[in-house]
A and B are shown apart, each in its own frame.
Chain A
Amino acid sequence: MIQGALAGLAAGGLYAVLGVCLTLMSRLVRVVNFSQAATGMFGAFCAVWLVTKAGLPIWAGSIIGVLIGGLLAAVIGWIAATWLSEADTTTRSAMTVGPLLLLISLSFILFGNKPQPFAPIIAGPAFTVGGVVISQLTLATVGLAIVVAVAVHFLLARTKVGTRLRALSERPTTAELLGIRSRPLQVAVWFVTGIISALVIIIVAPSQSNDATSLSMLIVPAAASALLGGFRRLDLTVIGGIVLGMLSGVVAQIGQISAVRNFLPFLFIVVLLLWSQRKEVWDAAR
């Protein structure tokens, strides 16, 4: 039981990192970015190509791949900031379905539809707890999730850029009237979350089913963890990701109900949403 839970911890960290990115996007640029994992996937695939085909060293390939992921996200963000600056969250989010479709198909064209030969960057056991090995990968993903969440928290609460970002997200028009330039800041948020997603996917991909669709669909468990925090709270998002990862680890161990595992993020999402939205009876406040 505990073994399963700890085995799922690495995936949990991954969900948490992506969930933190989603929360950040939802708070700062009013969007649930369905292509969050897809841009990361595309960056990671580029990295693999650069390493295996172009013969770059792993570190160089990875950095370029991460940058590509960030740039792709920035382009989508630029579209959203330019043409959908006044649109509501739902419309902005629906737009990101297009890039999700596009990036998966494009990766089929460029890299084929087979899983990619990722060379693990981080591997090997870190330490042992009660007979269960905790891998370095687990430490890396969970650590990254916590570091990103804490860093973002401080950025938003303590720095001038953070104040501007919050002003922009809460009162966009007022902020713009105060002279805060919205588009560069918004695109920057997209870029940074794109970088983070690409980074975590490059780290984790060797140990995951790493075809384009599976990696892009990581958006589902990521959204599930972000939902625990209601797309607003970073701490709960991290907890949500880790709990979801450990839960699927436990379920995967129990042979008879392993099919449930597929539906776990879905059920997690439904239950959380129904609970959190239980008072939202109507679509408009008045």
Chain B
Amino acid sequence: MPLADNRWVRRGWPLAVAVVALAVGYALSVGLNGYFVFLAVSAVTAAIAILGLGIVTGSAGMIALCQLTFAAIGAWVTAGLNYVHAPGGFVVWLIAGTTAAGAAGVLVGLPALRLRGVNLAVVTLGFAAAADVTLVQIQFPGSADGVGVDRPTGFETDRSYFFFSVIVLIVCALAVFFLQRGRIGSSWKSVAFSERGTAAAGQSVQSAKLTAFAVSAALGGVSGGLLAGQVGLPLASSFSPLQSLALYVLAVMSGAHLIDMAVFGGILWILVPELLKRWGIPQDWGFVIFGVLGVQALTSGTNLGQGIRNMIWKRQYRRRAAGRRVDAAAAVDGIDGVADPVTTTTVATSKGATAGPAVLTVEGLTVQFGALKALDDVSVEVPAGSIMGLIGPNGAGKSTFVDAISGFVRGHGGRVLLDGHDLAGLSPTRRARLGLRRTFQQDRVPPALTIDAYARFVARRRLDAEDVESTLAFFGCPPAHARLSSVDVGTRRLVEVAANVLARPRVLLLDEPAAGLSHEEHLALATRIRELPERFGISVVIIEHDLDLVRSVCPRLTVLDFGRVLASGPQEEVLDDPAVMKAYMGETEML
């Protein structure tokens, strides 16, 4: 068994890295000379701030230009508590500063619930500029009377304070690591790629964004508090918007969503000006260099950390592929794969799957966009354990139907009932959690995740590795450890279906699941979908253009045309209906 697959290795390696880092930190705190120790503390504080930026900009994809403003809040609260001699000492003050910065992050993040992209950048830059001017006016508590911040007991010297800051960095890095690896981290990466996709997975978009902002700002606060302890009397000029911009640029170009790169960024933050100083060049050139490199990184859309990782992955992949060729040659044709799908164009219906109580009931669904009625009084029932096909020409309202039922269209007429409960007024997130899942026609699968992380994120329940692997294999997806970025778009859609099946919903709405698949994959998918009700107890609604697939999978069909139900019922009846033929083939070309 390869080392990486061992359970203990997999769970324990972050802690092992932390212990090693602790040892290195201690060795440095003893070994470095005094001047470098002080610089090293600055590198550590910068690394923590960049770690935070990595979450909000790197993972969650939002532009935040006010990281050091959060640091200033952390420093201000720490210095303030020191000034009034609040009980608890530095560690408690630091935690208070962190909390205050996190709260400020939530406040600044509130607009982010509605704003995205460049608008958010404007908001955060505005906040940074405003806070900077205010900070210059009010100054830090204690700076007027020269009351410096007391360092924690036992860590008063520069050397020991450096060791203290390393401990804080390790704690932060571990916290970020486990957050990134868990649900919350997946939600950040998902919201960066698609808000709709995130909501459809039952994850609240709001909480994903707010947690990203809060955690990021809190890390900023830690960094500021540490800096207050380092210098004693923090200065407003250490937290200027210019520095926040530079930090943003540095985070982007180093790829700060990766913890090692955040630490590397912190080192660069100190190293570049220090080198310039040694070479007798004005230190402001440092930001000029960051500016140039930032433009390079932002125009090419690459960053150092991801570039290095891609290179390593590519080499690993090549080595593995070579290994696999050897295996394949040895075991000539003893393939254990899924049996070849058998698909006929006749219906595989029967099995009484058309009766039973309705799981999903749609009554008089009406959606109006201005003067256009996209859906007009559509009523449909989906019995438990059945597969219903929803077909119709382009523009018939099929996707609007899925959008309305899954909660993405507000203010529609009519009722949608899931297991008899009215879904009126519920958000897509709530509906998904109640067991109404959907997939998208567009690619809404976040490429930053591994297949395993994505499956667990969408499933929203405890899964063991077995469950994940077997369901993925059932749909013919790549193995769980593969990265979605290395998977083609057609296969991503398969992964999307598999992940939603793992969520064990009551009803699964598949919006053209076969688009982008080859004909063989198409047939294979059809056989698998056919098994969903029996194997997983899921009722399925499929929207599909391909009549072959519909014929082989759906015992019941509903045909939409111009937003109305043209026909609904058992497959043969519907397909033989002259009105349906007319809508599909056109009048003159009728067979």
Q: Is B134 an interface residue (CB 8 A)?
A: yes
- Tally the A-B contacts, defined by beta carbons under 8 Å: 152
Cβ-defined partner of A104 (8 Å) among B242, B399, B410? B242
CA separation between A87 and B284, bound complex, in Å? 30
Q: Is A56 an interface residue (CB 8 A)?
A: no
Q: For residues 254 through 286 of chain A, which have their beta carbon under 8 Å from a beta carbon of chain B?
A: 259, 262-266, 269-270, 273-274, 277-278, 280-284, 286
Q: Is B248 an interface residue (CB 8 A)?
A: yes
Across the interface, which residues of B come within 8 angstroms of A83, CB to CB?
299-300
Interchain CB contact under 8 A, B242 and A269? no
Interchain CB contact under 8 A, B115 and A273? yes
CB distance from B69 to the nearest CB of A (A): 11
Q: For residues 95 through 132 of chain B, which have their beta carbon under 8 Å from a beta carbon of chain A?
A: 111, 114-119, 121-123, 125-127, 129-131
CA separation between A266 and B125, bound complex, in Å? 9
Interchain CB contact under 8 A, A94 and B287? no
Q: Is B292 an interface residue (CB 8 A)?
A: yes
Interchain CB contact under 8 A, B291 and A262? no
Interchain CB contact under 8 A, B130 and A270? no
On whether A283 and B116 interact (CB within 8 A), knowing A98-B298, A109-B282, A220-B129, the answer reads: yes
Chain B interface category by residue count: 35 or more
Q: Is A16 an interface residue (CB 8 A)?
A: no
Q: Is B285 an interface residue (CB 8 A)?
A: yes
Q: Is B458 an interface residue (CB 8 A)?
A: no
Across the interface, which residues of B come within 8 angstroms of A274, CB to CB?
111, 114-115
On whether A220 and B115 interact (CB within 8 A), knowing A83-B300, A98-B291, A109-B282, the answer reads: no
Q: For residues 204 through 241 of chain A, which have their beta carbon under 8 Å from a beta carbon of chain B?
A: 213, 217, 219-220, 223-224, 227
CA separation between A109 and B301, bound complex, in Å? 29
Across the interface, which residues of B come within 8 angstroms of A98, CB to CB?
249, 291-292, 294-295, 298
CA separation between A83 and B194, bound complex, in Å? 25
On whether A84 and B299 interact (CB within 8 A), knowing A98-B292, A277-B115, the answer reads: yes
On whether A277 and B249 interact (CB within 8 A), knowing A84-B299, A101-B242, A102-B291, the answer reads: no
Interchain CB contact under 8 A, B63 and A102? no
CA separation between A97 and B299, bound complex, in Å? 11
CA separation between A262 and B138, bound complex, in Å? 12
Interchain CB contact under 8 A, A102 and B130? no
On whether A105 and B126 interact (CB within 8 A), knowing A32-B118, A32-B121, A95-B299, the answer reads: no
Across the interface, which residues of A come within 8 angstroms of B399, CB to CB?
286
Query: Whose C-beta in chain B lies nearest to the C-beta of A80?
Result: B299
- Per-position binary interface string of chain B over residues 169-200, scored 1 when its CB falls under 8 Å from any chain A CB and 0 otherwise: 00000000000000000000000001110000
CB distance from A84 to the nearest CB of B (A): 6
Across the interface, which residues of B come within 8 angstroms of A280, CB to CB?
114
- Per-position binary interface string of chain B over residues 222-249, scored 1 when its CB falls under 8 Å from any chain A CB and 0 otherwise: 0000000000000000001110011011
Across the interface, which residues of B come within 8 angstroms of A128, CB to CB?
none
Residue among A98, A103, A104, A269 with the most chain B CB within 10 A?
A: A98
Q: Is A161 an interface residue (CB 8 A)?
A: no
Across the interface, which residues of A come within 8 angstroms of B125, CB to CB?
34, 219-220, 223
Q: For residues 75 through 128 of chain A, which have their beta carbon under 8 Å from a beta carbon of chain B?
A: 79, 83-84, 87-91, 93-95, 97-106, 108-109
Query: Whose C-beta in chain A lies nearest to the C-beta of B440?
Result: A286
Q: Is B475 an interface residue (CB 8 A)?
A: no
Interchain CB contact under 8 A, A273 and B294? no
Q: Is B153 an interface residue (CB 8 A)?
A: no
Chain B interface main SS type: helix
- Per-position binary interface string of chain A over residues 11-48, scored 1 when its CB falls under 8 Å from any chain B CB and 0 otherwise: 00000000000000000000010100000000000000
Interchain CB contact under 8 A, B119 and A277? yes
Query: Whose C-beta in chain A lies nearest to the C-beta of B295?
Result: A98
Q: For residues 239 through 261 of chain A, which have their beta carbon under 8 Å from a beta carbon of chain B?
A: 259
Q: Is B40 an interface residue (CB 8 A)?
A: no
CA separation between A284 and B122, bound complex, in Å? 20
Query: Whose C-beta in chain A lies nearest to the C-beta of B125?
Result: A220
Q: Is B65 an interface residue (CB 8 A)?
A: yes
Cβ-defined partner of B288 (8 Å) among A87, A102, A277, A284? A102
On whether A269 and B285 interact (CB within 8 A), knowing A102-B291, A278-B114, the answer reads: no
Across the interface, which residues of B come within 8 angstroms of A270, CB to CB?
111, 123, 126
CA separation between A79 and B137, bound complex, in Å? 38
CA separation between A220 and B130, bound complex, in Å? 9
Interchain CB contact under 8 A, B291 and A101? yes
Interchain CB contact under 8 A, A262 and B119? no
On whether A266 and B285 interact (CB within 8 A), knowing A284-B194, A284-B196, the answer reads: no
On whether A277 and B114 interact (CB within 8 A), knowing A105-B284, A282-B196, the answer reads: yes
Query: Whose C-beta in chain A lies nearest to the C-beta of B294?
Result: A98
Q: Is B27 an interface residue (CB 8 A)?
A: no
CB distance from A115 to the nearest CB of B (A): 14
Across the interface, which residues of B come within 8 angstroms of A266, CB to CB?
123, 126-127, 129-130
CA separation between A32 and B63, bound complex, in Å? 13
Q: Is B403 an interface residue (CB 8 A)?
A: yes
Across the interface, which residues of B come within 8 angstroms of A84, CB to CB?
299
CA separation between A94 and B119, bound complex, in Å? 11
CA separation between A102 and B286, bound complex, in Å? 9
On whether A91 and B249 interact (CB within 8 A), knowing A98-B292, A102-B287, the answer reads: no
On whether A99 and B295 interact (CB within 8 A), knowing A34-B121, A277-B119, A283-B116, the answer reads: yes
Interchain CB contact under 8 A, B298 and A220? no
Q: Is B90 an interface residue (CB 8 A)?
A: no
Cβ-defined partner of A273 (8 Å) among B111, B137, B295, B299? B111
Query: Whose C-beta in chain A lies nearest to the C-beta of B293?
Result: A98
Interchain CB contact under 8 A, A262 and B133? yes
Interchain CB contact under 8 A, A213 and B245? no
CA separation between A269 and B282, bound complex, in Å? 36
On whether A91 and B298 interact (CB within 8 A), knowing A97-B65, A97-B249, A273-B115, the answer reads: yes
CB distance from B4 to the nearest CB of A (A): 35
CA separation between A281 and B206, bound complex, in Å? 11
CB distance from A38 to the nearest CB of B (A): 10
Q: Is B264 an interface residue (CB 8 A)?
A: no
Q: For residues 188 through 214 of chain A, which have their beta carbon under 8 Å from a beta carbon of chain B?
A: 213
Residue among A105, A227, A265, A280 with the most chain B CB within 10 A?
A: A105
Q: Is B290 an interface residue (CB 8 A)?
A: yes
On whether A94 and B63 interact (CB within 8 A), knowing A270-B111, A280-B114, A283-B196, the answer reads: yes
Cβ-defined partner of B294 (8 Å) among A101, A219, A262? A101
Query: Whose C-beta in chain A lies nearest to the C-beta of B286?
Result: A105
Across the interface, which residues of A come within 8 angstroms of B116, CB to CB?
90, 283
Interchain CB contact under 8 A, B285 and A109? yes
Q: Is B562 an interface residue (CB 8 A)?
A: no
CB distance from A210 to the nearest CB of B (A): 15
29 residue pairs of the A-B complex, CB under 8 angstroms, read: A83-B299, A90-B63, A90-B117, A91-B298, A93-B121, A94-B121, A97-B121, A97-B249, A98-B291, A104-B287, A105-B284, A105-B285, A109-B284, A223-B122, A223-B125, A224-B126, A263-B130, A265-B129, A266-B130, A270-B126, A273-B114, A273-B119, A274-B114, A277-B119, A282-B408, A283-B196, A284-B194, A284-B195, A284-B196
> 7 nearest interchain CB pairs?
A102-B291, A105-B287, A90-B117, A98-B295, A266-B126, A98-B294, A83-B299
